Amino acid sequence: MMLDTGAETVRAHELAAAARDRRQQWRDDLFRRTVMACALFVFIALLGAALSMLWGGKEAFQTFGPRFIWSTDWDAVNHRFGALVPIYGTLVTALIAMIIAVPVSFGIALFLTEIAPGWLRGPVSAAIELLAGIPSIIYGMWGLFVFVPFMGAHIYPWLDTNLGPLPLIGPVFSGPPIGLGMLTAGIVLAIMVIPFVSSVMREVFNTVPVALKESAYAVGNTTWEVVWDIVLPYTRTAVVGGIFLGLGRALGETMAVTFVLGNAHQLSLSLLQPGNSIAATIANEFTEADSSLYLSSLIALGFLLFVVTFVVLAIARLMLGRLARQAGEGA
């Protein structure tokens, strides 16, 4: 009788354990499916946005064909449209922004992690976060009413007078001193991008083990040597990722660029001339599209901006993968 009772107890424990295992397995399956659905949602939303813009721009692509990409025409009256000027303006302003933002962001991150006293790191970090939180339209209004007059009165005339006559770079820095232009837009974009890039760099610099840096200092390395030989090799993958994150932000910025770029559909080598970008063109003219072809051309511009951003991020992924492989080989 006692043996039967013991066997029943063991059997009850086994059944209870099996039930717990089934519940745990059910919870694990539910969790796995939930997080997989979250991941798939990103791909579905991305694919849906791309296909919807492609479908919306179908009329423009069918009407103009591949010429739409390299044509400089933008004549709403005669219904002739081309994307080269907005694409050029988007790429040039983003490039100017990154040329300025990357070294400045690196200096900010280096100062905060290696040089700044403890009492100063908090206020500077808070200022950077505040700069990142300012709406883009505020940057645009500041750029139009404060920065554009300053550039037109001081910077553009100096560039045109001193660099304009030079043989090679002269055409890049010659133009009317109106203040509006791709150079102004690029600088405003740089100010907007710096908080994002510098924050990423600062965080990844803080992940470097203290023992590595202290060992380098102990053998007589300077701060620059520690950063160049220890910090950057340890964090280069994340640093490159942060740079391309800022580049993606610069490529898609709309309101700030719209205020200071000049919004002129003209292709010019000069950085002092007004230009246009894809986002600014869409923001300015979407409500004015009075024909299906006009509207389709604007949506096609949105699709091309999607493609440009996708290509940039794909290049970033390839570079990050290559850096990771090189780091593995070096190890």
The per-residue pLDDT for range 75-124, each reduced to its tens digit, is 888 889 999 999 999 999 999 999 999 999 999 998 988 888 888 888 88
Residue 236: strand pairing partners: none
The span from the first CA to the last CA of the chain, in angstroms, equals 67
* 221 phi, psi to nearest 5 deg: -70, 145
Q: Name the percent of the chain in helix, strand, coil, to the closest 5.
A: 80, 0, 20
Q: E strands within the chain?
A: 74-75, 80-81
In which band, very low, low, confident or very high, does the pLDDT at 328 lie, cut at 50, 70 and 90?
low
Q: Give me the pLDDT at residue 291, please.
A: 87
Say how far apart CA 179 and CA 261 lie, in whole Å. Answer: 9
Q: Summarize pLDDT for 153-190 with one digit per residue, the tens.
A: 999 999 999 998 888 888 999 888 898 999 999 999 99
Query: With 50 as the cut, is the pLDDT of residue 3 above it?
Result: no
Q: Model-level pTM greater than 0.95?
A: no
Examine the pLDDT at 325 and tell me if it is beyond 90.
no
> Band of the pLDDT at 4, cuts 50, 70, 90?
low
Per-residue confidence (pLDDT) for residue 6, from 0 to 100: 59
Task: From residue 168, give the alpha-carbon distance in Å to each of 89, 100, 164.
Answer: 21, 21, 9
Q: In sequence order, which residues have a C-beta less than 8 Å from that of residue 244 and are 6 or more positions away?
A: 312, 313, 315, 316, 319
Is residue 2 scored above 80 in pLDDT?
A: no
Burial of 203 (0-12, 13-18, 19+ CB in 10 A): middle
Q: Is the predicted pLDDT of residue 21 greater than 90, yes or no?
A: no
- Rounded mean pLDDT of 34-43? 90
Confidence of residue 1 (pLDDT cuts 50, 70, 90): very low
SS3 label, residue 275: strand
Neighbours of 256 (CB within 10 A): 26
Q: What is the pLDDT of residue 7?
A: 64
